[in-house]
Amino acid sequence: MKTRDRIIHASLELFNREGEPNVTTVDIANELDISPGNLYYHFKGKEELVRELFERFYEQFNVILRAPVQNPLRMEDNWFYLVVVFEHMHAYRFLYRNISLILQRYEQIQRPFRRLIHLKQDAARAICVQLRTAGIMQIDDAGIDMLARSIALTITYWFNFDNLLGDRPGDDEDLIHDGVLQALSLIAPHLGAMQREFMDTALAIHSRLGRAAVQATRTKGGKK
């Protein structure tokens, strides 16, 4: 792996683990066992590193969020689509652990970050319209707009909310599945007679995926 890519990879790991404000370029250089001058040759400061990481995050997330708008999802795909959304955010969770602070410190990412929020609303709206078209959801246009905003709000601030609770480490993958369940719980009240069945299915999937994540963690730990 080239030095530049190693710097990017190490920066992301440190930002996610320690929080971006708590990591310096010297910390990153020490993590890689290179000189600060070597790091400076590739990146003139932490601002350039954050911008590079955000651009990578944005490029991939832009494609993910546009998917349900361009190609309607099947009912059974909604959970797994949301898993992909939360997994991508989790991979760059330093951006979401304290959104206000990160946007205040790095003004150049404010506008593209707002675009992502609008894309989240568009994706949520597309999913809700598809559910209504299929006769599954009972809601008017105004209700869909409000619900899409609530879903986008929940998705955007989920990691920030959990971080404030301080009950678990940021690398806990249950964060992802709990976030998906929380988002889907906003849809349930609009499903009429299907609400109970929908939530029972969602809870069953949540439980199964949670157990799978625990088993994967144990297996990984056993190999060390």
Q: What is the mean pLDDT of the chain?
A: 89
pLDDT of residue 224: 43
pLDDT of residue 73: 76
Distance CA 210, CA 123 (A): 25
Look at the block and give the residue holding tokens 């879903």: 151
pLDDT of residue 206: 82
Quick one: DSSP state of residue 92? T
Please check the confidence at residue 44 and state whether its pLDDT lies above 50: yes
Please check the confidence at residue 118 and state whether its pLDDT lies above 90: yes
98-113 pLDDT per residue, tens: 899 999 999 999 999 9
Kindly report which listed range (96-105, 111-120, 192-201) carries the lowest average pLDDT score: 192-201
152-192 pLDDT per residue, tens: 999 999 999 998 888 777 778 889 999 999 999 999 899 88
pLDDT of residue 210: 66
Q: What is the three-class DSSP state of 88?
A: helix
pLDDT band at 218 (very low <50, low <70, confident <90, very high): very low
Q: Which domains does the chain have, with CATH numbers?
A: 1-44 (1.10.10.60), 51-223 (1.10.357.10)
Q: Cβ(135)–Cβ(151) under 8 Å?
A: no
Tell me how many degrees the CA angle 112-55-18 measures, rounded to the nearest 5. Answer: 100
pLDDT of residue 211: 57
% of the chain residues with pLDDT over 90: 64
pLDDT band at 128 (very low <50, low <70, confident <90, very high): very high
Angstrom distances, CA of residue 222 to CA of 144, 167, 211, 217:
47, 25, 17, 9
Report CA 111 to chain centroid distance, whole Å: 18
Report CA 142 to chain centroid distance, whole Å: 26
Tell me how many degrees the CA angle 27-40-15 measures, rounded to the nearest 5. Answer: 35
Average pLDDT over residues 64-68: 94
pLDDT of residue 166: 82
Please check the confidence at residue 217 and state whether its pLDDT lies above 50: no
